[in-house]
Chains A and B, each alone.
Chain A
C-alpha cells in the first residue's frame, strides 16, 4: 500500500459522484481541445502569410471589384516588386454544397507571388500558363475528388454565367496540382485563367476582385500602401491597401471574432467545472474530517495529508482532462479530413495540448487548494471531539 493507493481509494469512494466530475472535466477539455485547435489553426494560417505582401481591395468593401487597369498602375509604383490579382468565382462542383474556393488569376504572376507557399511541377506550371481553359487544383481538392492531371472537370459558379453556353458551368482541364510548401498553407482551392474568365463572363468585364503585390521589403510596406491609396483617392474606386496578414485577420473578423467566441465558450466551460469540482472537493474532504484526524493521530504529518488531497484533485483533473484531449484530437482529425483542408493545419498541436495539460494541473491545484489547506490546518482534538 502506498499514499497513492489511499488517494485512489478516496477519489473513488463515491463512484457516481467522481464519475460525474470526471465527465464534466472530460467535456470541458473536449471543447477546449477542438476549439483551441481551430483557433490555433486560424491564427497560424494567417501568420504564414509573407511579411512583404500587401492586398489592395475596394475601400467600400472587399467584395466590390477594382478596375483591371489598376494592376498596371500599381506595378509602376516604386517599391513594388511583383503584382498579381484574383477574382472570386463562387465555384462549386456538381452540388452547390460542394463549395470550392475558386479564383480567376493571371497564372504567371500569381504563381510567382506564391512561389514560396505553393509547390508545382514546372511542366504543369507551363501547361497552365499556355492552356487557356486549364486550371490548377490545390492538393486538398484534388485528393477529395480524386482529380488527376488531364481530367476535364465542369466547375459551376453561383455568381457568373458563361457566355459560351449560357449556363453557369466552365469546363476546365486539370493542368497541374499545387502542393503546400508550408504546412499551414490552405490547398483547398482552384485557380484558373483570368483571360478565359474575363472573356466568357456576362458582366463585370475588366474588373478584378483584389490585387496582391509584393514589396521590395516589409520596411517599405507602409509607404507603398499610402502611395497606392493616395493614387486612387477621389477616383470611382478608392482603394484600401493593407498587409496580407492584416487582410487575413480582417477576413476572419468578418466571420465573427472567432478567437473571442472560442475564449468565451472555453472560459464558460472552465468556470463551470471550476465551481462544480471545487465545491465537490470541499464537501468530499469535509466528509472525511474524522478520518483525516485519525491519520494525523497515527502520526501522518500534515504536509503528507495536504499532498494527498491536492494529489487527489490533480489526479481527478487529469483523469477527465487527458481522455478529453485525446478525444478532441480524434475529433479534430476527423474534422480536418471532412473539411478537406478548409482550415489548413488543423490538428491538435503540441502548444494547444501542452496548454491543456497546464490547464488540468491548474484546475487540480485550484480546486484542491482549499480542501487541502483545510486538511493541513485540521486540529486533531477539535476534529475528533473525543479520542
Chain B
C-alpha cells in the first residue's frame, strides 16, 4: 500500500557542538520513506533516534545534506516557515503524552485548529470526530489528570490527527504503558496507517511494538545497520 516517496534524506549530517567537543550523530545519512509507510526505528540509547525524528518533523535542522518532504525542501525553511509546515504536515505523539493540563480532552484536541481558519462549527465537528475515532467521545470534558495513561495517549493521537497531516511521528508512544494498553495504542496506529494512509515513523525500544510496523530500521552509531521488512 506504500506509494511515492514522501520523505527523502540525502547526505544528512548532524553535529552538536558542546564547548570544545563536536559530537557527530549522523554523517551522510540517507533514507527514503514512501507515502503510506509505517517504519519502526530501533536502536540503543543515544544512537540518535530522537534526533532523527526531530529532523523529520522539522523541529531541528541538519548540519548538512538535504531533507525533502512531498518533493519540497524542508531543511532550507526558516523557523516561521517550519512552524507553519509542521502545523500542516506533521502530527507528533510523545512518550509522556504532553497534553495541556489546563485544558479538557476536547480542547487539547482542538489546539492545532487554532492555527487554521476553520470556523467554530467545523472545529467542533472535527474534534468530535477525532475523539470518536480514538474511542473517547464521552471523555471530551475530562482533564488529562482525570484520565489513565492510555486514554491520555489516545487524546494525544486525536490531537496529532486533527489537522489531517500526512506524517505521524511517534517517540516511544507506548514506553509508559502496560502491554495491553500498548497493544491498543499500537493497533490504533496500525489502523491509521492502513485505513487512513498515514505515514508513520515510530521510535521504540520494544520489539513487540516494532512488529506492528511494516518495517524496522536499526540505528546504531549514526547508521542504519539493518533493514528488515515485516510481513
Q: Which A residues are within 8 Å of any B CB, using their own CB? A: 1-3, 5-6, 9-10, 13, 290-291, 294-302, 380-381, 384, 386-387
Contacts and interface: CB of A to CB of B under 8 A. Distances in A.
A10 B171 CA distance: 27
Interface in B76-101: 79-80, 83-88, 92, 94-95, 98, 100-101
B75 interface: no
Contacts of B103: 1, 6, 9
A290 B98 contact: yes
B83 A300 contact: yes
A298 B93 CA distance: 10
B192 interface: no
Contacts of B110: 1
Given A10-B102, A387-B171, A298 B59 contact: no
A6 B101 CA distance: 11
Interface in B10-55: 50, 53-54
Interface stretch (B62-70, B111-119, B218-226): B111-119
Given A299-B112, A301-B83, A386 B95 contact: yes
A387 B83 contact: no
A387 B97 CA distance: 10
Nearest to B120: A1
Contact of B86 (A1, A10, A298): A298
A3 B83 contact: no
Most B CB atoms within 10 A — which of A6, A291, A386? A386
Given A1-B114, A387-B169, A387-B171, A298 B102 contact: no
A297 B86 contact: yes
A299 B53 contact: no
B80 A301 contact: yes
11 contacts: A291-B101, A296-B59, A298-B111, A298-B115, A300-B87, A300-B115, A301-B83, A381-B59, A386-B94, A386-B171, A387-B94
B149 interface: no
Contact of A381 (B54, B83, B114): B54
A2 B115 CA distance: 10
Contact of A299 (B50, B84, B95, B123): B84
Given A1-B114, A387-B57, A296 B95 contact: no
Contact of B98 (A294, A299, A300): A294
Interface residues of B, number: 33
B107 interface: yes
A301 B110 CA distance: 17
B60 interface: yes
Nearest to A5: B107
A2 B114 contact: yes
A297 B92 contact: yes
Contacts of B98: 290-291, 294
Contacts of B60: 380-381
Nearest to B86: A299
A13 B114 contact: no
Contact of B102 (A13, A300, A302, A380): A13
B107 A298 contact: no
A81 B24 CA distance: 94
A299 B87 contact: yes
A6 B113 CA distance: 13
Nearest to B79: A302
A296 B98 CA distance: 12
Nearest to B127: A1
A105 B101 CA distance: 75
Contacts of B114: 1-3, 6, 300
B102 A387 contact: no
